[in-house]
Structure 1
Amino acid sequence: MPHTTSAVPKISVVGAGPGGLTVAMLLAASGADVTLWEAHDRVGGRSRRIEIDGHGFDCGATFFMMPWVLDEITRSCGYPLESLHHMDRLDPMYRLVFRGGLGDLTLDTTQDLNEMAVRLDAVCPGDGQAFLAFMKENRHKLNAMTPVLRDAIRNPLDLVRLKNLPAAKYIKPWESVYDNLSKRFSDERVRLSMSFQSKYLGMSPFECPSIFTILPFIEYEDGVWHPQGGINSLLETLGRTCEELGVDVRTGSPVESVTYSGRRATGVVVDGTEHPCDHVVLNADATWAMRHLIPENLRPRGWSDTDIEKKRYSCSTWMSYMAIDGELDLPHHTICFSGDCRQNLDDITSGLKASEDPSMYFCNPVPIDPSMAPPGMSSLYCLIPTPNCRADVDWAAEGPRLQQKVAEQLERLGVPDIKDRIIGEKIISPNDWQADNIHLGATFNIAHNLGQMLHRRPLHKLNGLESTWMVGGGTHPGSGLPVIFLASQTTARLLCREVGLDCVLDDPRPEVSQAGISPQVSEFAGSSQE
């Protein structure tokens, strides 16, 4: 029975990250009375905006892919994505920089598949043609996996439904991403160029299941995009759209607990006051939400405090956001590989220590998006993958060493005077992520090993609880903005069905196009040549 007096279902969404914003949009557009609660003073979750003296930064994600997935959501709510927010397709998509024992190499990647094959053949003859074969195979793989990504996988039986059977041949527990690519590519640098994307899941390519070779495929198939103002700006646009749809968006309002009558959620507590509702959708960090918002005796099997501590978690990140005097001659995205990638990844995943020679990622958005810094200035973002807070690392002491490593790396990239040009800087360490209600500071959620995927992740509707739902990177299908948007679609459809609403979102289940990009992609504005 509902726990509010209104005939319209009243739904509280906890967390205004990408999943919370989009599920709130879909529910409101479908006729629900939605309140969206966010602890921070602005929407976006760990993808919110950071500001330093007029310089803007994405806090978290900077790569935007598969815009058509978000367009499915916004368009169904009456807002085609191209009318909401301008985006630029990046070319090069990103620059890859290798050094050390593997041999020095700078490789600019492009969505022009034939040109990319030429560039890879120049690195190692034969690897270009292997790349084209890789794209063809993974086009079939993604088509086979699409029903699984779009479905609520509640138990093993869901996997053997007819529409999901084509995916079975791609689920190989014994094979990692790196193993799969090693069969195809001869040059180690090419293998790493096609496998670093496992970091989007917070995993090493030497451990990440081989089904995730679809990640580099998606980049080359659909492109890498930059929303004007950054991903944070796109999410703020979604926040305003929520309000236009009637969502009551309450920032600066951390939810302290979910209240229950038996096993049914009856409300959320904010600042000591209970706010009644009929259903609760959790978009907080999945395991943090389990531990802090749901009483242990009500949680689904396998999610007690003890169970949560036994699970595997992704890596964390050390972040530097630098307000820079002057312009920088760097591409939009630059990925600098460690001189010993395997050792670096072992330090993060098994050694649980700060690497002596870390890989680094830089984002320099101002050349194509001057809105992200004052005139004549730059906003430089740096991310270093690190172990999560299970590691015994003093991050306060480690910070200055990493800042020096960043300066040395930038000097190798042709920016020798960075320390003299930094006019403001913000650091976020794994400890800071943990303090921001991310369990163990594991920024990519529960690890994506096969034992923690599909029905072994928190379900869209939590088992045994009548009105508690989940959306975000911690649930199926996993981390990364496109799949979080897929999860919000699934959660919204299931919840609408339960409360008797017709969900505005059709069930399109599009296949990947055979022409190189999804047909919708051309709608989202221009291409940026750097």
Structure 2
Amino acid sequence: MSKKVIVIGSGVAGLASAIRLQAAGYQAEIYEKGSMPGGKMNRIELEGGYKFDLGPSIVMLPEIYREVFELCGRDPDDYIPMEKLDPIYRAYFSDIPHRPFDISSDMTRLTRTIESISEEDTAGFFRYMHEIYQKFIIAKRYILPRPFRKRGDFYNLPMLKKAVKLKPYDTADRFVGRYIKNKRLRQMISFQTLYIGISPLTSPSFYTMIPMLQFLYGVWFIKGGMYTMALSMERLFKELGGTIHYGRNVQEISIQNGKAEGIVVDGQKIASDYVVCNADFPYAIKHLVQDKPAKGKYTDEKVDSLKYSCSCFLLYLGMDRKYEEIDHVHNFIFNENLDRNLKDIFDGKKLTNASFYVYIASKMDSSLAPEGKDGLYVLMPVSNAAESNYEWDEETVSYYRAYILNELKKIRGFENIENEIVAETHTTPLDFRSKFNAHNGAAFGLQPILKQSNHYRPQSKASHCENLYFTGSSTHPGAGVPIVLLSAKIAAQELIQDDTGELFDYSVK
């Protein structure tokens, strides 16, 4: 009889690890406290037929999405039909709102746009691309896809030689500034570390590979929006014979004699051979792992002392018209004082200079809004709930809402935006905390500073408990949908290795 694995949480990594284990011959069962799959990759529906992705919205590295289906012998196009976007996004600057820049992954078009912003910096831009591409290849081969179970997995000569080439002590802002002097161009590249919840002023430089991945490999759109990925993984898991229990809130991971033996739900113990935990690691180790020795170094005090990512304030607006003047799915509105904006986010201040992002999925898929209408998803990076020195009350929501609408009014097409809203809702850091058990309401989990990256980050295999594995954005390799999908792959491989003795080759050549 096949061994039973309980997966806690149906977020992206929970679904992907359950699929991998089910496909490998285990009997996987997911326990999810909510009523829908996907975790933060979820959907919000408003009256009138407006549908929004709740959180993630930008598809990068589509081959990692597709791999989950391919390993089960399925054609990904039957599950997650994708279309490449070009331009990948439009960038607006608040001091010149009528002169946006279209950013393409077509090298000829991209070069022309870079030249139009700063001809003097164009050669520097390609030097940045050359440098960061080399770092990406090292990370892709030797760091992102492998676990670091023990010190020797990182602290060995071949690995250290590779790691040194990443120049880990450089910040994203300094690294980009070495090649590019123009402020707008620098902002457009370095801000993208916010995709994983860290400021470019403090982020290790290798995370500037995020824009490079967009420029070189493009950005994609999944029909139906990002939530299609969650629904399709749920469908695949069930086709493979897996079971999902919705509305089942796990209270505890059952641990006896240093070994996970199942979970406790509604006061009842449910036994399993292995447990894979996709609940946010800081929440899980603090609340679900109640056996003190099994926590290892992650005591409650240690968890509280770690650094957490920023959070997000999101507005979902159902509009009574189509925005023909806005051509793009992804739109970034940069405040000219971005450095102040970034500092305030991570200092916990209420933002007076704020950059934000507008996602109009109905541009690519008209089924996501009523006929002849658009839905606007607006995301503003803000402090997490523990760091903000202001309350997340109705007054704060109204303040940020007014700020966003006032800034949008300056952009051609949005001049009358306030009077065109017919349905709306929002998500705050408090929602991330209550709905998704995100510690401190940090939308991206642990901040990926150097001391919380790679071998310093919580690993998949529990260090002080057998048969227990963790996955998701607070574990290695980190946040962002493709990276979280890699964490699921690591979790499945670690479990299979412990169960069968099958060794995976992570050697550094």
TM-score (norm 2): 0.94
Alignment correspondent of 2:340:
343
Alignment correspondent of 1:11:
5
Equivalent residue pairs, number? 500
Gaps of 5+ in 1: 1-6, 512-530
| 2:425 is equivalent to residue 426 of structure 1 | yes
Alignment correspondent of 1:497:
497
Give the 3-state SS of the residue equivalent to 1:198 in structure 2.
helix
Q: Deviation per CA, 1:425-466: give whole Å up to 9, x if none.
A: 111111221222111000010110011112222111010110
| 2:165 is equivalent to residue 170 of structure 1 | yes
Equivalent residue for 1:358, pick from 332, 354, 361: 354
Shift of the alpha carbon at 1:262?
1.5
| 2:385 is equivalent to residue 381 of structure 1 | no
Shift of the alpha carbon at 1:508?
10
Alignment correspondent of 1:182:
177
Alignment correspondent of 1:237:
232
Contact 1:283-1:471 within 8 A present in 2 as well: yes
Contact 2:97-2:411 within 8 A present in 1 as well: no
Measured in 2, the distance between the counterparts of 1:385 and 1:56 equals 22
Give the 3-state SS of the residue equivalent to 2:144 in structure 1.
helix
Shift of the alpha carbon at 1:272?
2.2
Shift of the alpha carbon at 1:129?
2.3
**1:476–1:508 Cα change, 3 Å:** closer
Contact 1:11-1:277 within 8 A present in 2 as well: yes
Q: Percent identity?
A: 28
Equivalent residues in 2 for 1:228-377 (5 A)? Answer: 228-295=223-290, 297-328=292-323, 329-330=325-326, 331-350=328-347, 352-377=348-373
> Amino acid of the residue matched to residue 427 of structure 1?
H
Equivalent residue for 1:124, pick from 106, 115, 118: 118
Alpha-carbon RMSD: 2.0
| 2:63 is equivalent to residue 72 of structure 1 | no
Measured in 2, the distance between the counterparts of 1:229 and 1:507 equals 37
Measured in 2, the distance between the counterparts of 1:188 and 1:368 equals 31
Shift of the alpha carbon at 1:339?
2.7
Q: Which moved more, 1:493-502 or 1:266-275?
A: 493-502
> Amino acid of the residue matched to residue 85 of structure 1?
I
Q: Deviation per CA, 1:131-173: give whole Å up to 9, x if none.
A: 2222222222111112211110234421245663453233434
Shift of the alpha carbon at 1:111?
0.5
**1:456–1:90 Cα change, 3 Å:** same
Measured in 1, the distance between the counterparts of 2:156 and 2:397 equals 50
Equivalent residues in 2 for 1:468-483 (5 A)? Answer: 468-483=468-483
> Amino acid of the residue matched to residue 369 of structure 1?
D
Alignment correspondent of 1:525:
none
Give the 3-state SS of the residue equivalent to 1:419 in structure 2.
helix
Give the 3-state SS of the residue equivalent to 1:412 in structure 2.
coil
Shift of the alpha carbon at 1:382?
0.5
Contact 1:97-1:105 within 8 A present in 2 as well: yes
Contact 1:30-1:501 within 8 A present in 2 as well: no
Measured in 2, the distance between the counterparts of 1:127 and 1:105 equals 19
| 2:34 is equivalent to residue 40 of structure 1 | yes
Shift of the alpha carbon at 1:72?
2.2
Contact 1:118-1:128 within 8 A present in 2 as well: no
Give the 3-state SS of the residue equivalent to 1:371 in structure 2.
helix
Q: Deviation per CA, 1:213-237: give whole Å up to 9, x if none.
A: 2111111122111111111112111
Measured in 2, the distance between the counterparts of 1:475 and 1:177 equals 21
Equivalent residue for 2:109, pick from 86, 104, 115: 115
> Amino acid of the residue matched to residue 8 of structure 1?
S
Give the 3-state SS of the residue equivalent to 1:466 in structure 2.
coil
> Amino acid of the residue matched to residue 16 of structure 1?
S
**1:472–1:452 Cα change, 3 Å:** same
Equivalent residue for 1:21, pick from 15, 18, 22: 15
Contact 1:296-1:305 within 8 A present in 2 as well: no
Alignment correspondent of 1:140:
134
Alignment correspondent of 2:401:
403
> Amino acid of the residue matched to residue 415 of structure 2?
P
Contact 1:121-1:129 within 8 A present in 2 as well: no
**1:163–1:489 Cα change, 3 Å:** farther
Measured in 2, the distance between the counterparts of 1:129 and 1:62 equals 31
Shift of the alpha carbon at 1:91?
0.8
Measured in 2, the distance between the counterparts of 1:450 and 1:194 equals 20
Equivalent residues in 2 for 1:438-449 (5 A)? Answer: 438-449=438-449
Alignment correspondent of 2:452:
452
Measured in 2, the distance between the counterparts of 1:48 and 1:321 equals 13
Alignment correspondent of 2:25:
31
Alignment correspondent of 1:522:
none
**1:104–1:344 Cα change, 3 Å:** farther
> Amino acid of the residue matched to residue 432 of structure 2?
W
> Amino acid of the residue matched to residue 468 of structure 2?
T
Contact 2:59-2:220 within 8 A present in 1 as well: yes
Give the 3-state SS of the residue equivalent to 2:174 in structure 1.
helix
Q: Deviation per CA, 1:184-215: give whole Å up to 9, x if none.
A: 01201111111111001111111100111211
**1:212–1:477 Cα change, 3 Å:** same
| 2:388 is equivalent to residue 394 of structure 1 | no
Contact 2:429-2:441 within 8 A present in 1 as well: yes
> Amino acid of the residue matched to residue 473 of structure 1?
S
Measured in 2, the distance between the counterparts of 1:233 and 1:160 equals 41
Gaps of 5+ in 2: none
Q: Deviation per CA, 1:3-22: give whole Å up to 9, x if none.
A: xxxx4110000111110111
Shift of the alpha carbon at 1:85?
1.6
Equivalent residues in 2 for 1:80-99 (5 A)? Answer: 80-99=75-94
**1:155–1:502 Cα change, 3 Å:** closer
Contact 1:36-1:248 within 8 A present in 2 as well: yes
> Amino acid of the residue matched to residue 470 of structure 1?
F
Alignment correspondent of 1:528:
none
Measured in 2, the distance between the counterparts of 1:245 and 1:337 equals 45
